[in-house]
Amino acid sequence: MGSERFKPNTNHSFFGGFLYQQVIPNDHFLVQLKQVIPWQRFTYKLVKYYRGGGKEGRPPYDPVVLLKMLLLAYLYHLSERQVEEQSNLYLPAKYFLGLGVDEKAPDHTILTAFKKRLLENGKLAAYEQLLQEIVRLAVEKGVKFGALQIVDSTHSIAKVNVQQDERRQRKGQPPGDRSAYWGGEGQLQGAG
- Over residues 9-42, the pLDDT tens digits come to 655 565 657 788 888 998 888 999 999 998 888 8
Q: What percent of the chain has pLDDT over 70?
A: 66
Question: 97 with 65: CB under 8 angstroms?
Answer: yes
pLDDT digits (tens, 9 = 90+) for 142-168: 887 764 333 333 334 455 566 777 787
* pLDDT category of residue 80 using cuts at 50, 70 and 90: very high
Helix (H/G/I), strand (E/B), else coil: 189:
coil
What pLDDT score was predicted for residue 86?
A: 94
- CA 56, distance to chain mean position in Å, is 26
Would you tell me how many other CB atoms lie within 10 Å of the CB of residue 169? 12
98: left (phi over 0), alpha (psi -120 to 50) or beta: left
**DSSP tally for the chain: helices H, then strands E:** 9, 0
25 sits in which H/E element: none
Q: Residues in the chain, how many?
A: 192
**What is the C-alpha to C-alpha distance for residues 171 and 187, in angstroms, rounded to an integer?**
34
